[in-house]
Amino acid sequence: MWIDGRRQTCLDRLDPRVKLAYSVSVAAAGMMLGQPVLLATLLALTLAPWLVLRPPLRRLRALLLVAGLAAAGMVVSQGFFYHGGPRTPLLELPCGLSVAWEGLAYGAVQSLRLLAVVSAALLVVFCCHSSDLLLAMTSLGLPQELAFMLVLALRFLPETIEQGQRILTAQELRGVRGRGPLAAVRRLALMTPPLLGCLARRARQTALAAEARAWTPRRQAARELRLSATDRLVLAALAALVLAAGAAMWGGYGAPPGGIR
């Protein structure tokens, strides 16, 4: 999601811990709220920062497509399979399945919740470099060993994918062919030993190199995070959002056990 060299906005300049707090706060509020109007308001709130960030159109189209498909899938599947209360069939299929109005409504509410949470999470990864995210997580208590593993995974994942593609090509040029699931399983089985062999060799080299550079979990980060006045203000606003959602839930506007009112 991160784009190198993108114009930096006020959102980009926020402390990465604040960005994480934003994502967590929206998720918490989303879980507490249950009424469509409130969830739609929450979703609208999470969409507003995107206007500031203005992602490239191509990236936006891809995001909308993925989010739209996920939301539509949820509405349709709940339409078919919702059994949380009475069902009013809108459409009956010859195979015995039916689409119920309550299911569609429930799916729509769930989609609003999902979209709000996804929008907040995507915003964080769009305006926060992976290194900043990891720094934020370690400063919030993520063990250094785990953080190092995550960095290595991020660092080597693209190379490993490329390596897998090269192995598949080598197979094809040596006559491995065939389509369909069985052929795919066979190709995967053929790809596994060389890929694992390469990974094992690289892991050994990386471990030796890390030893040679004195790796230790008791390390001092080169950068220290400090909250600015703006960061504190945003944190206060996020706390207010969570409190308001909590109050709404206590006031009877949370997700009701019996379905949508």
In angstroms, give the least distance from the CB of 246 to other proteins.
37
The count of residues in the chain is: 261
In angstroms, give the least distance from the CB of 8 to other proteins.
12
In angstroms, give the least distance from the CB of 175 to other proteins.
3
In angstroms, give the least distance from the CB of 10 to other proteins.
20
The residue (of 226 and 261) whose beta carbon lies closer to other proteins is 226
The residue (of 194 and 246) whose beta carbon lies closer to other proteins is 194
Please give the structure tokens belonging to residue 156: 């080597």
Q: How far are the Cα atoms of 101, 127, 137 from residue 16, in angstroms, in the given order?
A: 42, 9, 9
Q: How far apart are CA 15 and CA 124, in angstroms?
A: 11
In angstroms, give the least distance from the CB of 121 to other proteins.
20
The residue (of 45 and 168) whose beta carbon lies closer to other proteins is 168
CA 230, 140, 119, 111 torsion-angle sign: negative
Q: How far are the Cα atoms of 72, 178, 186, 192 from residue 165, in angstroms, in the given order?
A: 33, 17, 15, 12
B/e letters for 45-80, b = 16+ CB within 10 Å, e = fewer, are ebeebbeebebeeeeeeebeeebeeebeebbeebbe
- Nearest CA among 245, 210, 28, 219 for reference residue 138: 219
Chain residues in the site for other proteins (CB under 8 A): 4, 129-131, 148, 151-152, 154-155, 158-159, 163, 166-167, 169-177, 190, 193-194, 197-198, 201-202, 205-216, 218-224
- Nearest CA among 106, 51, 53, 113 for reference residue 83: 106
The residue (of 94 and 158) whose beta carbon lies closer to other proteins is 158
The residue (of 127 and 238) whose beta carbon lies closer to other proteins is 127
The residue (of 61 and 83) whose beta carbon lies closer to other proteins is 61
In angstroms, give the least distance from the CB of 129 to other proteins.
8
